[in-house]
Structures are given as structure tokens and as C-alpha cells.
Structure 1
Amino acid sequence: MSASKKTAGFLTLPQEILMEILSKLPTKTLVRFRLVSKFFCALIADHAFGVVHRSFSLTLPSRAGFLISIELRTPPLTPLRRSYYTLNFSPGMVQANRVGFLDADPFLLSSSSDGLICVSKPKGDVVVCNVSTGQRISLPRMQYKDCAPHLGYDSQSKRYKVLMATQMIDQESNSYEYKLWIFTVGVDRSWREINNCGSYTFQPMDGYPSFYDSNTCVYIDGIIYSYNSANKYSLSLFHRFHIETFEVGCESFSVITLPNEVSSQIYLDIKNPALLEVGGRLAMVLVHVQYSQPGGGECYMDVWTWEKFEKKCWEKITITIPLEWRRIIYNAKCLRFASNHDGEIVLLCVYIGQLFIFVCNLKSEIWRKFDVSGVEDFPIFSYWEVALNNIVDHVFPLE
């Protein structure tokens, strides 16, 4: 039977059956499938199919993974190097696979729940990229330094939006001013400035953690959540922390107050406080290390989850970090977080020039350690800045 007859027979199946069959295929195969006919191209590009395919991908470890970006800080006057890798888990080992087409884009800042990433360059260039298909779109350049883009999806318009906070310094008063901008991918020709009418000013975390730390912001089900420490009346670094929320569809802001316990300790013994999605809910992950005890004293992890519907309150789980791995986490130069398809917490550590990954099951409180292979060997004097993001195999088009 000829290929054309096989295709014709395939097309006689009900569309629901076709969608179910195609949803089980990886994105790279679907990209090739779009070239078969106009029918397949339209079906695979349909938003409803994208939802089915993404939902199925979230259930498969092989299609719901992680992307890391490594920035190599080398000696003065030498070019800055950055590399990107996807991670594949196997028993006792994590294999890192180079994503070469991303190497030209400096900073990995944000990832939507659909698996897209948003990267930017120091001079204001912003790129939205689908890691699965390689599709990328460059947005208009912002003429501001220290731009912080965050990516989200508007389910009403079925469009992706990028929220940008730009920082300007008033030299006379030595104070900061933040402006907010929105760009709707596939619709806007330029950035739109928007106002935050609340009492707080949405801004990136520019003090602690790192300004380019991907764990200070997370997108969940139409909302961008971000750590914030300043309001319109006080820009003090030690102002009470809170979480600012931005609803992508209606472009509105609100505030979530942190527990007193967290707000009072966040500058003391907490290492890289992170915002994550765990089981579909907003979660704060706080690793406590007792620096007063050299060599790795008490070390544990608090996971706070936000119940936003009925209770509207924080719930806490405290988990002890195994003694044999405390030294690595205690002395890690870089500590990043993510969550996997099972709702487990994933910690990535940079320790003595090596990458280590720890996975914690919140229900059983069992920890697993993985060594990472496949990452380039960098000189021992180098310092790594690492970002860790969730990615999902999917075919959602950017436009």
C-alpha cells in the first residue's frame, strides 16, 4: 500500500482518536508530521491538541524534564561563557544533554508551565523560545538596564504575555523607580506600559536572592508569582517580604502575605528561598543551614504551600536533610530548585566544581542523590552561576 493510501486511511479515523494517537508522540516527531498534509498541520497547531499533548507529557518523566543554564565566570578580560543542557534521569545518574541552539542567549530567567522559556540580554533584548521545537521569537528591545522578563499564558486570548519590570535610578535622590511593561506575543508591536494601582510596586528581587535567580518567580495556572520586598513608600532592603501576584489575563496585581516565621528569618539562615509549583499549588522552599556551626550544622528544609481557594492560608512541612549530604548543601556555592512530575522537590547544587542533584519525596520524606554527567569540565578556578527550570515537551506555537 502506498504512503498516500496509508495516510488517507489514517484520516478516516474520528478526530478524537487521531488526537489521542498523536498526543502520545514526542514533539520532534510531530514537527515532522506537520509536513505530511495541511490537515495534520492544522490539527497539530490547534490549541485543543496542544492542551491534550501537554497534559500527557506531564505524566511522562521522559517528556517533563529540566533545563539548566550554566554561566561560567572566568578571569577578567576573557569572554563570558554560557551553556544550556536538558537533564534525563536514570537510576543513580542524571545525563545532561547540550542544547546548542540556545548558547547565544545569555540569561535564562523564566519558564511558563507550558515549557517555554524566556531569555534576555543585559542590553534589553528578550527572546521567547520553545525548547522542544526550537522555535524562537525576538521581542522589541527595551532601552533599560537590568530588565527582568517573566512569561505567562492568557487562557482567554490564548496568547503568551511577557511581563517586564525595568529599574531606573534617580541620581539626585539616590532612589529606585520601577516601571512595568507588557508584551503580548503575536499581537503587540511594541511594549505597553501598565500601572500597578496597589500599595506595592511589582519588582524583581534585586538584593537577595540574586537578581537573575530563576527561583524568585514562578508561573502557575494563569498567575505569575514573585518575591517582593518593597512598597511605594519604603525601598528598604529589610522591608517585610511578601509575594506579589500578577494575573496574566486581566493584567491585575494582588499581594500574598508571608507567614511571620518566614518573613522574620528570610535574611538569617535561609539559603536561596525559592518559589515553585508543587502539585499544582504555589510553594515556598526554604533550606535552613546553621552557619554558626562550621562544617555543616543543623540543616533542614521547610516547604510552605499556599491554599488559595477555601482556607487561603499557608501549610508547612519540615523535612530533615540526611546527614551524609548536609556538607554538600551547606557549602554549595549555588543552590537551585525545581519540582518534578511526581510533585517531588529537586535541588541542584554546585559543590567543588561538580553538579549534584537531590530529589526529596514530600510524602515519604525519602531523599535520593544523583551525580550529573555530560556537563563540560570547566577550569577549577571558575565560578558557576546556574539556573534550573522545568520544561515540558509540547507543540504550542508561539504565534
Structure 2
Amino acid sequence: MSSSKKASASAIAFLPQGALPILPEEIIVLILSKLPAKSLVRFKCVSKFVCSLIVDHSFADLHRNWSLTLPSRIRILISLPTAMGHPCGGYHLYFTINYSEENQGMFYPNRLRYMNEDPKLYKKFYISSSVNGLICFCPYSLLKDSIVIHNLSTRQYISLPRSCRRVSRSESIRMQAFGLLGFDSISKRYKVLKSVLYYTKRPSRLRRWVKHYVFTLGVDESWRSWREIHSSSTYYPYTFYNNHFYSHTNVHIDGVIYFLNSYNKGEIVAFDVRSENFQAIPPPPPSTIPGLVGEGEQGHSGRSGLVEVDGRLAIVDLLNDHDHPGCYGIAIWILEESMVWKNQYLIITPIPLEKFDESSKRVLCVATNHVGEITLLVKHLVRQRSTISILFYNFRKKNWRKFDIRLPWYFQYAAMYFVLDNVF
């Protein structure tokens, strides 16, 4: 925080409650909107006026817009599953990285110990999606459907009520609950889409069915507030259980949640957060660039990445270097407003990439940051020690930049999220 902002924050914090009306309300709102979310949480106790202002959805929207203009308000969150032999074996470790467009070289991430030490999050849930700094956690358990929403800026979280009864271990039915977070820019409300897959344990009598529910944060409170959506039971996203790279098989863009359908490989499902309706989107035509990972009948399956490019849905595929020696790159399809896929184009990457094998370099995650850059999370194995490189491609400048991250443990998979400072 700059010295001027610190002075403004101190002035507000030490003003008597009766002195706040001396300042015009718009000035108070402007000052508070530029403060970090962690400071705003502390200022709730200054007065009833400040508290009511900070919890207002319009103020949260203003604060979020300011955060988008400040690089220091955006962090990279890395979710790292550990091996079973690790003291934290079988669960995820979480790290954050502060970065800017000028960053280069090696960075050492900050471990979020408070998340790892909290048994309600650490040993029971994993991340499914992230929107504007809010993170959606889904349960490891196959017996219940509880979901947790966590704010990384304020370190606060809420456990959403169940929508289904808990399944006992003696029953022959199991469930997989997967939540995806979305934001309605009209009502300024966050909603959770929960898809619950039920299935029988007995292979000889295997039966599956899916139910979908919606919960509005800040409005719905009890389990009765989950609204079941009567849609196709053949829509179900990729999860931690059926794809190690599930983290980039869904993306939220301007009030719409897109996810790859695990029931029908290649199909994309769009969920409109405001209308709460589904729409199936056919995949792009077969690749015209030979050697793309996932081309042919398996094209654009869980191996592809869904990202946002210029406010539109895009699919990113990686070029297989075995078919193109010395040529490494990504191919991108963009969905236009007419719901027609724009012809793919190839972007050459600065380092060799191999995907979905046991090589020393592999892409673990594909995403876009707040300024629309394509980002690749790449793993290197050097002397039996894992190092991560993050590659950024700027469409305007048409160039790549890269920085490395040293992690203390060996790992096979990792997920990456861009987290915005959010007071909500």
C-alpha cells in the first residue's frame, strides 16, 4: 500500500463515528474502494455506515473494478496435490505468487499454511473453480455433497448447506458432487451450479443419473434454497475423480459457465448464470493442423483447455512435438457471437513442450489472466526436483515472457488460478 493510501486508511480508522458524515459520501466511498480487502474487513467496526457500505454489492463491484487496474491486487494461486508418501499425503497444498508484467527469473511462492492446517478445507475439499477471488471447494467424499466458498483475500469461507441427504457407507449408492462458481453482472450476485452424479457400486447393476442445483450466495440460506434445475442428465463436468487436468476444462466468462462434458467427449456445455439455463455447444471442426494433441475422434476432450480470449470462449490445443520436430506451439479456436468457431491459428512457444506423458517437460494447466494473456503452467524435472515455469503470451505485443517457480516437493499435477482481491 502506498503512503497516501496508508494515510487515508489511518484517517478513516481513527475518525470518531460522528465525524464521518463531515466528509461527502462519494469521497468516503472512493477512498475505501481503493483499499485492500483485508483492510476493509477490519474497518467494518469503525461505524454502522462503513459496515453497511462495505457489505453492499454495488461497493463490492466498484472495489473489484479498481482491483482489476492494480497488478498488486492479483495473485496466482497454485494447487498442488501431494503424493501418498508425503506427511500431507493424498491432499492438496496451496501457494500464492505475486507477479507483474515485468517479472522475470526465479520466484519462491508463499505457502498458505492456514488453508493446509484447517481440517475443514485441507483434508476434505479440493478446488473446482475460481471467480473474482472467490474459490469453490468440492468434497473428496463420495457420501455427501457439501460445498465451501472461500475468499482468499479475507480468508473467510462459508459452508453451503446440503441439497441431498448424506449417503451411508452401507448403501449401494455413491455420489460425486461438483460445484462451479459464476457471477451475474446484472444482479451483482454469485451463484453456484452444483452437479451431483449418482451411481451404483455394483458393476453388474451399474446405473448412473445426474441432478443439477443452483444456490445464490447472500440470498439463499437453508437447504430448501437449492433450486433443482430440470435439465439433461447427460451433462456432467470433468472432476478430480475422472481427469487430473479438470481445472482447465471449465471457465467462467461474462456470466456464463462453460465446461467440457464428461458424458459426451468433445461437447461443450454453457450454463447461463442469470437465466439458469443450459445450452450444448458443438466442438470445433477437426483440426487442420496435424499433430495436435487430442485431434481426431478424441479431439477437444479433457486434454484441451477452455480459456477466455477477448471476452469469448476459446479452446487451446498443444502441438505434439513428435510429429513436428523443432516446432512447438498452441492452436486456438475462438467461438464468435454467431456461435461459429473462428479458424484456429498457431502460436509458437519459446520452449519445447510435451503433454500428457512422463517426460521432463509437460503442460499442467492452461488459463488466461486479467489482461487476456494466454498462460501455460509447465513442469520441469531437474535432478529429481520439480520446477514450474509459467509462460505468458501477449496477443497485442505478440511475444512470450516466462518466469520460474521453485517448489520444495516433487509432484505430477498442479492447477493454476488467477485470484483477484475481493471484499465480498
Please give the per-residue CA displacement for 1:61-120, whole angstroms capped at 9, x wherever unaligned: 2112221111112349983242111111233344422222222424111112x2210112
Within-5 A mapping of 1:182-221: 182-186=214-218, 187-190=220-223, 191-197=226-232, 201-205=234-238, 210=243, 213-221=246-254
Deviates more, 1:186-195 or 1:343-352: 186-195
**Counterparts of 1:3 and 1:146 in 2: how far apart (Å)?**
46
**Counterparts of 1:299 and 1:269 in 2: how far apart (Å)?**
18
Q: CA 1:385/1:211 → structure 2, altered by over 3 Å: closer, same or farther? A: closer
Unaligned ranges ≥5, structure 2: 1-10, 167-173, 288-293
Tell me the residue number matched to 1:248.
Answer: 273
Structure having greater relative contact order (Cα 8 Å, sep ≥ 6): 1
The answer to whether the 8 A contact 2:284-2:333 is kept is no
- Per-residue deviation at 1:388? 1.1
User: What amino acid is the match of 1:64?
Assistant: I
Would you say 1:92 and 2:105 are equivalent positions? yes
Tell me the residue number matched to 2:339.
Answer: 312
The answer to whether the 8 A contact 1:328-1:351 is kept is no
**Counterparts of 1:3 and 1:320 in 2: how far apart (Å)?**
52
Q: CA 1:158/1:2 → structure 2, altered by over 3 Å: closer, same or farther? A: closer
User: What amino acid is the match of 1:259?
Assistant: P
Deviates more, 1:216-225 or 1:73-82: 73-82
Deviates more, 1:272-281 or 1:77-86: 77-86
User: What amino acid is the match of 1:116?
Assistant: L
**Counterparts of 1:244 and 1:173 in 2: how far apart (Å)?**
29
The answer to whether the 8 A contact 2:63-2:422 is kept is yes
User: What amino acid is the match of 1:130?
Assistant: N
Would you say 1:134 and 2:163 are equivalent positions? no
Provide the TM-score with structure 1 as the length reference.
Answer: 0.83
**Counterparts of 1:194 and 1:271 in 2: how far apart (Å)?**
25
Would you say 1:162 and 2:192 are equivalent positions? yes
- Per-residue deviation at 1:227? 0.8
- Per-residue deviation at 1:268? 6.3
**Counterparts of 1:189 and 1:270 in 2: how far apart (Å)?**
37
**Counterparts of 1:119 and 1:206 in 2: how far apart (Å)?**
12
Q: CA 1:229/1:265 → structure 2, altered by over 3 Å: closer, same or farther? A: farther
SS in 1 for 2:275: coil
Q: CA 1:73/1:208 → structure 2, altered by over 3 Å: closer, same or farther? A: closer
Tell me the residue number matched to 2:331.
Answer: 302
Within-5 A mapping of 1:1-399: 11-75=21-85, 79-89=89-99, 90-103=103-116, 104=119, 105=121, 106-112=125-131, 114-123=132-141, 124-141=145-162, 143=166, 144-155=174-185, 158-170=188-200, 171-172=203-204, 174-186=206-218, 187-190=220-223, 191-197=226-232, 201-205=234-238, 210=243, 213-228=246-261, 230=263, 241-262=266-287, 264-265=295-296, 267=298, 272-292=303-323, 298-308=327-337, 311-315=338-342, 316-322=344-350, 325-327=351-353, 331=359, 332-352=361-381, 353-373=386-406, 375=407, 377-378=408-409, 382-396=410-424
- Per-residue deviation at 1:51? 0.7
- Per-residue deviation at 1:326? 0.6
The answer to whether the 8 A contact 1:278-1:343 is kept is yes
SS in 2 for 1:42: helix
Q: CA 1:215/1:43 → structure 2, altered by over 3 Å: closer, same or farther? A: same
Q: CA 1:91/1:178 → structure 2, altered by over 3 Å: closer, same or farther? A: same
**Counterparts of 2:157 and 2:375 in 1: how far apart (Å)?**
27
**Counterparts of 2:329 and 2:241 in 1: how far apart (Å)?**
20
The answer to whether the 8 A contact 2:258-2:269 is kept is yes
- Per-residue deviation at 1:9? 5.3
Provide the TM-score with structure 2 as the length reference.
Answer: 0.78
Unaligned ranges ≥5, structure 1: 232-238
SS in 2 for 1:301: strand
Q: CA 1:195/1:70 → structure 2, altered by over 3 Å: closer, same or farther? A: same
Query: After TM superposition, where is structure 1 displaced by more than 4 Å over at least 4 residues in a row?
Result: 1-10, 155-158, 170-173, 206-209, 268-271, 327-330
- Per-residue deviation at 1:246? 0.8
Please give the per-residue CA displacement for 1:273-321, whole angstroms capped at 9, x wherever unaligned: 111223332222222214457xx6532101222222xx33223332011
